[in-house]
Amino acid sequence: MPNRWLEGELPSGFQDLLGYRLVEWREDEAVLDLLLDHRHLNRAGVVHGGVLSTLIDTACGFAATWCPFEGRVRRVVTLSLTTSFTGQARHGVIVARARKRAGGSKVVFCAAEVTDADGKLLAMGEGTFRYRSGSESPEGVPL
């Protein structure tokens, strides 16, 4: 399903590399999914912790940057990210759900969880993000 808020914004090279998708996005919340394949697995044959951390970071970034104005965007940079790994997955779709928890006009705090297709928790994390110049207000900047 196309997301009207992303129309006109090309996926980043990193998004192309990993293959995650933004499947839900609204004020203070974002959901990503990723179909696991061989490039996402570590030497033990399970999803690499770096992939899980990336999904947490990215989902949190989207949760912090909702912009309801077409043709405009908001951006953040990650100041800190903590991740705890709680499970493993080898295949199937994994889902990252993030929520903006608190913050002000410059710095925001978000939390996310990554689960497998059965809802088993694989990882959880929290991040601190700083709005890039012009992204402090909901109006954001032109795309």
Any idea what the CATH number is for the domain that residue 123 is in? Answer: 3.10.129.10
Q: Write the pLDDT tens digit of every residue in 38-96.
A: 999 999 999 999 999 999 999 999 999 999 888 899 999 999 999 999 999 999 999 99
In a domain, 141, yes or no: no
In a domain, 7, yes or no: no
The alpha carbon of residue 132 and the mean position of all alpha carbons in its chain are separated, in whole angstroms, by 17
In a domain, 71, yes or no: yes
Rg (CA), the chain: 15
Which residue type occupies 12? S
Residue 30: domain span: 13-135
Domain count, the chain: 1
Record the pTM. Answer: 0.93
In a domain, 1, yes or no: no
